[in-house]
Amino acid sequence: MSEKKITLPKEIDEDKKKFSLRPKRLDDFVGQDILKSNLKTFIASSVKQNSSLDHIILYGPPGLGKTTLANIVSLEKNVNIHISSGPAFSKKGDLVTLLSNLSFGDILFIDEIHRLSPVIEETLYPAMEDFKCDYVIGNGPAARVMQISIEKFTLIGATTRLGMLSRPLRDRFGIPLQLGFYNPLDLKKIIIKVAESLDIQIEEQAALEIAIRSRGTPRISIRLLKRIIDFSVVDNMESINLKLVKESLKKLEIDVLGLDAMDLIYMKCILDNFNGGPVGIENICAALLEEKDIIEDVVEPYLIKQGLVQRTSRGRVITNKGSAHLMSNNN
């Protein structure tokens, strides 16, 4: 009896694979319909006027498509995009050099823009408003300020924490766009599209089950899909069905609401260690040995949206719904 061979999905060059999984046009971008419609209008207007697009701030939880949207804007406008992050600018000269090399209409995308230093922020103000940069040459009494004119450009900032942006910087963005969690039907469309691009067959109910457990986040949907593909390959499955998805997610410790081990540990910590709260974030971080940014940016947003946890002035509190969910998981 011949042994059945495991058929791996066709290999794709890693850089091409990453890019191919991202939509390239707004029409291909699934979800965020109001944001997408408004952005289409703003882009069309700037193209008609042959002007640079106003500065854009994209904000919302991680994994919702902020970087993808920035790349789409550059493709729709047919301009270059220069990608960086807030912590990458350690010196004023780094930013001035980058700004002075931009062409008309180019996009400068800064991820984690809330992590810019005050000195870098102040350099951005005249660049965003007047398209000029002030640069200090020399030291001490001999130092002089030289003003550099730069081409009109569009700054696209991305942040998970809009409140951490200083008011002067926030006010200079003419187009604020908030990304919210996706509904399961939109996530299902994304999962099916990604599966098709990887030459993987997936049943609609299976895709919907992954979507329901993806915390409203496309990045998580794609990650779960890839892990379920791993299980399907090892089990010699010709396609991904609902049974395989449920079994795989159980092995991955993803529950019916999409909560993972870290979410449940966080909730149990508040319930068991602090009698359900209220408890300050610092105490939670100390108990879990976890960074505050991870708790606030990754763990809490979805739990709060689902009504499992409340963030009050006195601290975090487990809701009745949260307590009931923990009890159901223990049964």
b/e code 8-39 from CB counts within 10 Å (16+ = b): eeeeeeeeeeeeebbbeebeebbbbeebbeeb
From residue 8, give the alpha-carbon distance in Å to each of 84, 207, 209, 245: 35, 20, 23, 18
Q: Say what the alpha-carbon torsion angle 226, 230, 231, 236 is, to the nearest 10 degrees.
A: 130
Amino acid at 274: F
Decide: helix, strand or coil at residue 80.
Answer: coil
Can 219 be counted among the known catalytic residues? yes
Amino acid at 308: L
Q: Of the residues 66, 170, 188, 215, which is catalytic?
A: 66
Q: Of the residues 24, 36, 161, 219, which is catalytic?
A: 219
Q: Which residue shows structure tokens 């081990």?
A: 261
Cα gap 187→207, rounded to integer Å: 8
Closest CA to 279 of 319, 314, 323, 320: 314
Can 67 be counted among the known catalytic residues? yes
Residues 190, 222 contacting (CB under 8 angstroms): yes
Q: Say what the alpha-carbon torsion angle 62, 169, 128, 111 is, to the nearest 10 degrees.
A: -20
Alpha helix stretches (DSSP H) within 160-271: 167-170, 184-197, 204-212, 218-234, 242-251, 261-268
Cα gap 123→202, rounded to integer Å: 50
Cα gap 162→112, rounded to integer Å: 10
Q: Of the residues 24, 36, 54, 67, which is catalytic?
A: 67
Cα gap 107→151, rounded to integer Å: 11
Q: For residue 142, give the DSSP letter.
A: G
Q: Of the residues 123, 160, 217, 319, which is catalytic?
A: 160
Q: Of the residues 106, 111, 186, 263, which is catalytic?
A: 111
Can 7 be counted among the known catalytic residues? no
The catalytic residue positions are 66-67, 111, 160, 219
